[in-house]
């Protein structure tokens, strides 16, 4: 039904999205269908990464935000047109916490035949409640696009506001500084940039943050302070990603500092400057960044997976999950657990007396593929020791991957992810769990009515 409706009704709207028009698709679809993807870089134990990647990548931030004013968690994901298609749609929806239901999701932008979830979107909500969807481009090949909702806290209609070279968008809005957008440009490898805007329409010239050969970053904002954690790609080779760097700004990018307060000159161009937190290159280890959160005092915590090879499989050793915690004067490093894949991505949550991690750390049906079974880990001593509490998912037909943490996460919609067969093309479904991580609901794959209540599946 979706495929026929889509073909008959939106050919013209699809064309307009990827031109200079200010129109978005704004069509509703009849269910939550995630995008499946394969990178196509195979070795003995399968592809470097593949599967249901609707909530990919870790470098798209945020992808979900709880808005207390309307008691809704808004979220974006990479969807598709039909269960047997690989046609990327940038989707938005919400979970209504009062009515415990979701609407039919809305297409913000059709990627016009692109099947790559590197083009997934990030989400921001401004001080007036308008929803901003930052759609990732891919280098200079495909531009990044910025859309704004026509009404506050409303997903029914969007207009295109801006187009620029933006990859891995990480937009943050603050009352003091407006938008601070962190992103990547392929200027000399994957280099980090930022730009600012008072209103989302007029943007300051892009400024380079780091250009040591290439980087991936994760960011988060507390108050007016933004912290970014990033790695380094020696020679521009992403398969050699290593080291950890952490810096901050409290004035919208006017000045950047180390966590210890040392003022930095940007762009950062030397891999052994003052921003370096740990020299993983000296240990011949790779760094896959997952999430960044703050402790009760506002100090950053980085969650990362540390590997030895970019290739999947057991011969390349276990992948260690670690938390790296700034204590106000020094960094602490603590191991959480091990898993089987570099891209077993999860999120870290900080509560007054408890830290939690939700991620695919248990082996799934595709043993050496991306993701696995989702697991809850807890720590009562600020990450020094961790205890496995439970598996959220069990006996799944497909691996679960990329558990994402909403900003200001509400207890009823605490983590959000997708599944998919990591070994071969498959359907991909979307899920969420509660704060206790003792229940999992599936977002409705097919919808006959405008609203539906998610069904508990575990």
**CATH code of residue 145:** 2.130.10.10
CA–CA dist 457, 397 (Å, integer): 13
Domain region containing 421: 2-456
pLDDT score, position 18? 42
State whether residue 28 is helix, strand or coil: strand
CA–CA dist 284, 287 (Å, integer): 10
At residue 8 the predicted structure's pLDDT band, cuts being 50, 70 and 90, is very low
- β partners of residue 319: 339
Per-residue pLDDT reduced to its tens digit, 353-393: 999 999 999 999 999 999 999 999 999 999 999 999 999 99
CA–CA dist 132, 147 (Å, integer): 6
DSSP symbol at 315: G
Q: Evaluate the omega torsion of the peptide bond into residue 225 and state whether it is cis, within 30 degrees of 0.
A: no
Residue 58 in tokens: 């870790």
Number of compact structural domains in the chain: 1
3-state secondary structure 269-301: CCCCCCCEEECHHHHCCEEEEEEEEECCCCCEE
Model pTM above 0.75: yes
CA–CA dist 335, 333 (Å, integer): 7
Cα separations (Å) of 84 from 178, 371, 424?
41, 21, 12
CA–CA dist 116, 111 (Å, integer): 9
Per-residue pLDDT reduced to its tens digit, 56-78: 999 999 999 999 999 999 999 99
């Amino acid at each position: 039904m979706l495929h026929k409706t889509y073909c008959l009704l939106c050919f013209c709207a699809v064309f307009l999205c990827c031109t200079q028009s200010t129109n978005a698709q704004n069509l509703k679809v009849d269910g939550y269908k995630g995008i499946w993807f394969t990178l196509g870089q195979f070795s003995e134990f399968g592809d470097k990464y593949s599967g249901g990647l609707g909530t990919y990548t870790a470098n798209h931030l945020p992808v979900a935000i709880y808005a207390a004013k309307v008691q809704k968690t808004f979220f974006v994901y990479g969807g598709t047109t039909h269960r047997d298609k690989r046609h990327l749609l940038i989707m938005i929806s919400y979970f209504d916490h009062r009515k415990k239901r979701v609407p039919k999701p809305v297409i913000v932008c059709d990627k016009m035949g692109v099947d790559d979830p590197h083009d997934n979107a990030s989400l921001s909500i401004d001080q007036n409640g308008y929803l901003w969807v930052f759609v990732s481009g891919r280098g200079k090949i495909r531009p990044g696009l910025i859309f704004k909702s026509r009404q506050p806290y409303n997903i029914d209609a969007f207009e295109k506001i801006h187009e620029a070279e933006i990859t891995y968008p990480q937009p943050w809005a603050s009352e003091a500084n407006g938008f601070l957008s962190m992103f990547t440009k392929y200027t000399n490898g994957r280099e980090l940039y930022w730009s600012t805007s008072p209103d989302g329409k007029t943007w300051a010239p892009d400024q380079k943050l780091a250009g040591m050969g290439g980087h991936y970053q994760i960011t988060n904002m507390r108050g007016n302070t933004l912290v970014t954690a990033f790695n380094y790609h020696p020679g521009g080779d992403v398969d050699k990603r290593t080291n950890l760097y952490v810096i901050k700004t409290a004035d919208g990018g006017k000045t950047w500092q180390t966590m210890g307060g040392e003022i930095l000159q940007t762009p950062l161009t030397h891999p052994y400057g003052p921003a370096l937190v740990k020299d993983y290159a000296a240990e011949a280890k790779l760094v896959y960044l997952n999430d960044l959160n703050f402790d009760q005092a506002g100090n950053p915590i980085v969650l990362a997976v540390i590997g030895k090879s970019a290739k999947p499989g057991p011969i390349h050793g276990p992948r260690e999950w670690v938390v790296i915690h700034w204590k106000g004067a020094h960094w602490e490093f603590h191991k959480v657990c091990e898993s089987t894949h570099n891209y077993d991505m999860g999120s870290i949550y900080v509560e007054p007396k408890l830290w939690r991690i939700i991620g695919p750390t248990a082996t799934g049906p595709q043993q050496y593929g991306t993701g696995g079974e989702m697991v809850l880990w807890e720590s009562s001593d600020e990450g020094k020791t961790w205890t496995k509490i439970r598996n959220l998912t069990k006996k799944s037909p497909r691996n679960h991957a990329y558990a994402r943490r909403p900003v200001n996460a509400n207890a009823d919609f605490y983590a959000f992810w997708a599944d998919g067969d990591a070994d071969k093309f498959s359907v991909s479904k979307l899920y969420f769990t509660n704060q206790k991580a003792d229940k999992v609901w599936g977002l409705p794959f097919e919808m006959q009515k405008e609203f539906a209540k998610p069904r508990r599946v575990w």
